[in-house]
Structure 1
Amino acid sequence: MDLSFKTDEGRFNYRVAGLLLNESKVLIMKDENSPYYYFPGGRVSMHEKSEDAILREIREELSVDAAIERLLWINENFFEEEVLKEKFHEICFIYLLSLKDDKLLIKGNEFEENEEGKIHTYYWKTFDELKELNVYPLFLKNRCSELPEHLTHFVETK
């Protein structure tokens, strides 16, 4: 069971995301119906550690194995999702990851993956390109190029 549930006041979501870097580029993704970009990851399941969840999500979405370097950010995010028009209260753990091989890198700067019938498009973007895109969580647009030395907590309200 994913730790995401609907209430009368909106949806609570416990999510993990992975920051994958390659030659001053960061991997972001977009769904076919989404007007915004985000970082690979997904929901944490009940009784699942966040570390296990991010590795599982990367394996499910990208068919590659990754290793966790460290936890970078905890993000509390309060927003209205643009497609669903649903209010969210989201907690997200964002990990710096490394790839265990180069299978993902040889796919190029833009590629598609099919996850159980849902098409995701992935993009390797430079830090400057990232700043010009509609990317969530917002703080990552300016923080990916300067990773914190210690775990950092951000709260966003939109």
Structure 2
Amino acid sequence: MMNSPTTSALGPLVAVYGLVGHDERILILRDRHAPAYRLPGGLVRPGESVEDGLRRVLREQVDADIAHLDFCATVELHGHTDPNGPPVYELALLFDVTITDPEAVQWNEGEVRWVADTDLHQIDVRPAVIAERLRSGTLTAETPWWPSRS
């Protein structure tokens, strides 16, 4: 008889995050009781395409529809911590997103904020590896793969 596998034994989870831009600012969220902000995004459900997962998550989180999206990067997140569970291994797919009505963005579960790149230095944004790439300006089309130790 085999033991039940853990999340890490099953391999990486697939998550999608949107770099939602408007007027030279990006959208970040903070859950009602969370200390840090985060990019809009979440896990792709079994059987769901990556694009459909991103569309679903943006509708659920900020009641927004995607007008246009472009793939940016895949980020390998080892030991990424979910506040409600154990550390997980996640492959995060990052997309540059334009939404249909950025002025109408709202979220009932916490705070919505549009920030300029220069403001990111004073804000704790998760996943941290993505925030560091945004702060340093190293988010480029020439580096679409970010291994866990880059």
TM-score by length of 2: 0.79
Change (3 A) 1:138 1:51: same
* Partner secondary structure for residue 45 of structure 1: coil
Change (3 A) 1:148 1:105: same
Residue 125 of structure 1 corresponds to: 115
Q: 5+ residue gaps in structure 1?
A: 1-5
Paired residue for 1:149, among 123, 141, 149? 141
Residue 3 of structure 1 corresponds to: none
Amino acid at match of 2:50: S
Change (3 A) 1:8 1:63: closer
Amino acid at match of 2:64: V
TM-score by length of 1: 0.75
Question: Which deviates the most, 7-16 or 60-69?
Answer: 7-16
Q: CA deviation at 1:130?
A: 1.1
Amino acid at match of 1:113: W
| RMSD (Å), alpha carbons | 2.6
Give the Cα–Cα distance (whole angstroms) in 2 for the partners of residues 125 and 70 of structure 1.
20
How many equivalent residue pairs? 142
Residue 37 of structure 2 corresponds to: 37
* Partner secondary structure for residue 128 of structure 1: helix
Q: 5+ residue gaps in structure 2?
A: none
Residues 19-98 of structure 1 mapped to structure 2, 5 A cutoff: 19-79=19-79, 81=81, 83-84=83-84, 86-98=86-98
State percent identity of aligned pairs: 22
Q: CA deviation at 1:76?
A: 0.9
Does the 8 A contact of 1:51 with 1:68 survive in 2? no
Does the 8 A contact of 1:131 with 1:141 survive in 2? no
Does the 8 A contact of 2:80 with 2:90 survive in 1? no
* Partner secondary structure for residue 156 of structure 1: coil
**Structure (1 or 2) with the greater helix fraction:** 2
Does the 8 A contact of 1:29 with 1:40 survive in 2? yes
